[in-house]
């Protein structure tokens, strides 16, 4: 039996209390980060009974963009062009000594 809907529909920006991912509730930020960066596979089960397997691995140096940034820089070329323009305004002395450990 289906549950009856109660109250007003939940807004997309509202999160239910049971979906609290804060660390106070035991959530761990970046729990699967290393595994994701290491690669993953996707299996697509097709209607004809066959499976299609695709493997994904981020290349070394790959950067994941947040959605709000990606709408302004949708391609690698766009990101690289923007970053190169920023390097033009950084003084040469700062660029040479900017990398510290």
Angle at CA of residue 70, ends 80 and 83, nearest 5° = 20
Pick the more confident residue, 11 or 22.
Answer: 22
- CA gap 44, 51 in Å, rounded: 6
Residue of 14, 16, 65, 59 whose CA lies nearest to 39: 59
Q: Evaluate if residue 14 carries a pLDDT over 80.
A: no
**pLDDT tens digits for 52-62?**
999 888 787 88
Q: Evaluate if residue 95 carries a pLDDT over 70.
A: no
DSSP letters spanning 56-76 = E-PPTT--PPPHHHHTT--SH
**pLDDT tens digits for 41-92?**
899 999 999 999 998 887 878 887 888 999 999 998 999 999 999 988 887 7
């Amino acid at each position: 039996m289906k549950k009856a809907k109660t109250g007003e529909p939940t807004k997309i920006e509202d999160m239910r209390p049971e979906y609290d991912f804060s660390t106070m509730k035991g959530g761990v930020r970046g729990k699967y980060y290393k595994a994701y960066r290491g690669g993953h596979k996707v299996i697509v089960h097709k209607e004809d009974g066959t499976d299609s397997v695709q493997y994904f691995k981020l290349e070394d140096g790959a950067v994941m963009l947040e959605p709000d940034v990606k709408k302004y820089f949708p391609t690698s070329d766009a990101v690289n062009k923007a970053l190169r323009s920023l390097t033009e305004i950084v003084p040469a002395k700062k660029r040479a000594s900017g990398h510290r450990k």
